[in-house]
Amino acid sequence: MLTAAAILFSLIMILLLWRGDPKRRRTSGHRDGADTSSRRRLLVIATLLPGLLLVLAGDSAAFFVWLGSCVIAGWLAAQIQGPGAAR
């Protein structure tokens, strides 16, 4: 249950990072609404925090499931292109 909560939290943080990505927004024609670098740093720390908690709990299997899920979620988020983006 803890692993599922960690995955869900990190997935939400990854999607927030995707939504405010300055380069993605610029290439899709949306100049406003990009996150500042300090906000992006906080989101990255929040994304990695559940993994740290799983490591401190000593559950290596849960950590690797969480890590794999974050990699796949990040890859899928990178595949999403905004409206007006060149393909």
Report pLDDT digits (tens) over 38-59. 888 898 899 999 999 999 999 9
Instruction: Identify which of 35, 37, 34, 23 has the alpha carbon closest to the alpha carbon of residue 85.
Output: 23
Q: What is the dihedral of CA 19, 7, 4, 76, to 10 degrees?
A: 70
Other beta carbons less than 10 A from residue 7's beta carbon: 19
The model scores a pTM over 0.75: yes
Q: How far apart are CA 57 and CA 79, in angstroms?
A: 33
Residue type at 9 in one-letter notation: F
Between 58 and 30, where is the model more confident?
58
The tokens of 35 are what? Answer: 């996150």
